[in-house]
Amino acid sequence: MLVFSAVAVYLTSLWDRGFVVNYDLGVYVKASFLVALMFYLVRPLSKLVLLPLNILTLGVISTVVYCFLFFFLTRYFGLINIKEWTFSGINLLGFAIGQIKFSQTANIFVSAISVSTIINFLEQLI
């Protein structure tokens, strides 16, 4: 689980220029450990406690809680820095996505979903 978190943090930092991680080994391991702790301990407990709200909102409350946990992680531990950035756009297979400017709040949301999706994908492979 620590490996999955480390890979997710690394891959997110590659494509999201506003998701900045210090690649010093000690700092990187601490950041990966905190993400793993958040994903494997705090998130399931919050899903259990907020189960009625989660059912009523069709899972939206879980996403909000995970984004709040990411905000807490960046604000109080300082191992990961999430700031605003501008996506320059992409043209892939005839589909074009234009330039998008993400605020810090939007980038926290995007980063939390990216890390969560990558961890879930890696767990499905095993």
Q: Give the model confidence (pLDDT) of 28-84 as tens digits.
A: 899 899 989 988 888 888 888 888 888 888 878 888 888 888 888 888 888 889 999
pLDDT of residue 22: 84
Which domain does 107 fall in, by range? 2-125
pLDDT of residue 54: 82
Position of tokens 């979903």? 113
Q: How far apart are CA 64 and CA 70, in angstroms?
A: 10
State what percent of residues in the chain have pLDDT above 70.
100
Q: Model's pTM, two decimal places?
A: 0.85
State what percent of residues in the chain have pLDDT above 90.
37
Kindly tell me if the per-residue pLDDT of 126 is higher than 90.
no
Contact 47, 62 (CB under 8 A): yes
Contact 111, 94 (CB under 8 A): no
Number of domains within the chain: 1
Nearest to 12 by CA among 61, 74, 77, 72: 74
pLDDT of residue 89: 86
Mean pLDDT, all residues of the chain: 89
pLDDT of residue 121: 94
Kindly tell me if the per-residue pLDDT of 23 is higher than 90.
no
